[in-house]
Structure 1
C-alpha cells in the first residue's frame, strides 16, 4: 500500500503526460488525427477512481488544456466538466462494458466534447467548422482499449486505489 501522496503524484504524472501528448508537435498529415490524450487519460481516472477525480478535476484539466492550446479560457474546461459528469454519473455501468463498448462510449463522449468546444468557439469567435474537426474523436476511440489496459497496469503497478 503506497501513501496517499504517492498515489496523487502517480495520477498527476499520468495527467501531465496526457497534456504533453496533446501539444507535442506532429506532422501536418497526422495532426488532424491526434487523439484527445488528456481527455482519454482523464476519463480513465474518473472511471477508475471516481472518489478521487471528479467534475472539479475535469474542470482544472480543462483549464490547463485551454492554457496550453491558447484557446479562450474555459472552453475546454466546460466541455471536460460536462463529459466528466457523464462518466462520473454512470461509472458503475461503464465499468461493466466490454472494451469495444467502452471505445464506442468514448467515441460518443469525444464527439460531445468536440461539439461543445466548437459551439462555444462559434458563438464567441465565429469559428468555421472544417471537415477534419471530428477526426480526433475516431482516433480517440481507436486508442481507448490500449490506453485503458496500459493505465490499468500502471495503476496496479503503483498501487493507486
Structure 2
C-alpha cells in the first residue's frame, strides 16, 4: 500500500522540524563553528527525492522562519535555501547516479556556496569574519551526509515513499 500525499508531507515537515531544532540546539562556543547545516541537508535530500513536489515559495517561507528562529538578518536563509534548491532541481537526475562519496562532495559544494552567500549577507549587515572558518559547516555537513542519507533512505523505504522521476 502506497502512502497518501498527506502522510508524505507530514514526514517531510517532521524531518525539517527536527533539523531546525538541531540547528538551534545550544552548543559550546568552540564547537558552534563545526555544526552541520541540518536544515539545508534535509532540504537537499527531499528535493532530490521529491523534485516535482518541491516549491521555491515553501523554501522561501522556511528560510524566513529559520531567519526568525536563529536571529539572522532577514533574507539570509531564504537566499541560501532558494539557491541550493534551484541547484538541486537542476541536477537531481545526475546526482541520483552518484556514489555516496560523490554525493558528499556535491553536498560540500552546495553547502559551501550557501555559506558564501551567508558570509556575503553577514558582511552587508556589517559583521566582519576573517579566514575561511565560515566554510567549516560545509565540511561538517559533507561528513554527515552519508549517515543522514542512509537514515532517510531507510525511513523512506519504511514508509514506502518512492522517488519521483
TM-score range normalised by the length of the shorter chain: over 0.9
Matches within 5 A, 1:110-121: 110-121=111-122
Q: Could you list the runs of 5+ residues in structure 1 that have no partner in the other structure?
A: none
Q: How far off is 1:127 after superposition?
A: 1.4
Q: Could you list the runs of 5+ residues in structure 2 that have no partner in the other structure?
A: none
1:137 is matched with: 138
Q: How far off is 1:136 after superposition?
A: 0.6
Q: How far off is 1:50 after superposition?
A: 0.4
Q: How far off is 1:27 after superposition?
A: 2.0
TM-score by length of 1: 0.94
Contact 1:63 1:73 (8 Å CA) reproduced = yes
Taking only aligned residues, the RMSD between alpha carbons, in angstroms, comes to 1.2
Whole-Å separation in 2 of the counterparts to 1:58 and 1:159: 24
Give the ranges of 4+ consecutive aligned residues of structure 1 lying more than 3 Å apart after TM superposition: none
Matches within 5 A, 1:81-96: 81-96=82-97
In the alignment, is residue 128 of structure 1 matched against residue 128 of structure 2? yes
1:18 is matched with: 19
SS of alignment partner, residue 53 of structure 2: coil
Matches within 5 A, 1:11-90: 11-90=12-91
Whole-Å separation in 2 of the counterparts to 1:31 and 1:120: 19
Q: How far off is 1:56 after superposition?
A: 2.7
Whole-Å separation in 1 of the counterparts to 2:98 and 2:55: 20
Whole-Å separation in 2 of the counterparts to 1:3 and 1:87: 25
Whole-Å separation in 2 of the counterparts to 1:120 and 1:130: 15
Whole-Å separation in 2 of the counterparts to 1:54 and 1:120: 23
Deviations 1:16-41 (A, max 9, x none): 11111000111222211000000001
Contact 1:54 1:85 (8 Å CA) reproduced = no
Number of aligned pairs? 160
Whole-Å separation in 2 of the counterparts to 1:160 and 1:101: 23
